[in-house]
Structure 1
Amino acid sequence: MTTQPQRLHHLLDRARRGVILPAEGEQLAGLVGELEQQVDTARATARRLNYRAQQAESKNAAFQRAVAQWDVNERGTYITHGSLRAIGLAAGTDILGSVRHLKHFQRVEQAEARVEELEAEVARLTAGQCTDSRAMCEQHHAPPVDGCPYPRCRAARATRRAATA
């Protein structure tokens, strides 16, 4: 008994030579129809697999962006609330709904943002400027400086004495 590919090649050979019988022509048409269905099925499968591959790549990129927000050092790993939210969205689930300390996460992130703002402000200050703290005033200058908001500095400017005296 011949296999389907062998039978197909035999019928195609007879068709090329122009000696195919009507019954063989019907067999050839049936085999070609089966092959067309297999090709259509293969194309549909390829489209589904390509779509799933694109979804997987998109999720992987979202996970990588979320993990990039983590602070990993010798003391441990700090995972931000925002990265947890991004991971949950990428996974299609609400992983933060079960977190009891959500408000704590939000407060910590707010505090971290405020610390960053204050660090930026301190970096902006130049020598001769200070904040309302005496230690900062003493660190920046001994003689009084115009524009310093520290009360001892203002008093020292009025008396022309050292601000740290």
Structure 2
Amino acid sequence: MTTQPERLHHLLDRARRGVILPAEGEQLAALVGLLVAGQCTDRRDICDRYHLPPVAGCPYPRCLAATATGRAATA
């Protein structure tokens, strides 16, 4: 079983080589969303820019509301 950082590096490497599959693209987007969620504690513009759809773990109102209703994306 791979960890999230290893999986992210694997997906980024495949994306750079242009051999990423559609399902892998969705996985990559979910992992990046989770990583970016950690940056939201200092930067609301990061949330506004990258959390479409909202991400569970983000502390800003739009993502919190989506998490509370079960609509926030998780990996």
The percentage of counterpart residues that share the same residue type is 77
The alpha carbon displacement at 1:5 in A equals 0.3
2:22 is matched with 22
Structure 1 residue runs of 4+, over 3 Å off?
none
The alpha carbon displacement at 1:39 in A equals 1.1
1:32 is matched with 32
Q: What per-residue deviation string (whole Å, max 9, x for no partner) do you get for residues 95-122 of structure 1?
A: xxxxxxxxxxxxxxxxxxxxxxxxxxxx
Structure 1 regions of 5+ residues with no counterpart?
A: 45-165
Q: Normalised by the size of structure 1, how large is the TM-score?
A: 0.25
Q: What per-residue deviation string (whole Å, max 9, x for no partner) do you get for residues 29-51 of structure 1?
A: 0011111111112x26xxxxxxx
Structure 2 CA distance, aligned partners of 1:27 and 1:39?
19
Structure 2 CA distance, aligned partners of 1:13 and 1:19?
9
Relative contact order, CA 8 A, sep 6+: which one is greater? Answer: 2
The alpha carbon displacement at 1:16 in A equals 0.2
Question: Counterpart of 1:23 in structure 2: which amino acid?
Answer: A
Question: Counterpart of 2:5 in structure 1: which amino acid?
Answer: P
Q: CA RMSD in A?
A: 1.1
Structure 2 CA distance, aligned partners of 1:39 and 1:24?
23
Q: What per-residue deviation string (whole Å, max 9, x for no partner) do you get for residues 68-121 of structure 1?
A: xxxxxxxxxxxxxxxxxxxxxxxxxxxxxxxxxxxxxxxxxxxxxxxxxxxxxx
Structure 2 regions of 5+ residues with no counterpart?
A: 44-75
- Number of residue pairs matched? 43
Q: SS state of the match for residue 34, structure 1?
A: helix
Instruction: Find the structure with the greater CA-based Rg.
Output: 1
Question: Counterpart of 1:2 in structure 2: which amino acid?
Answer: T
Structure 2 CA distance, aligned partners of 1:37 and 1:3?
18
1:122-141 aligned at under 5 Å gives the runs none
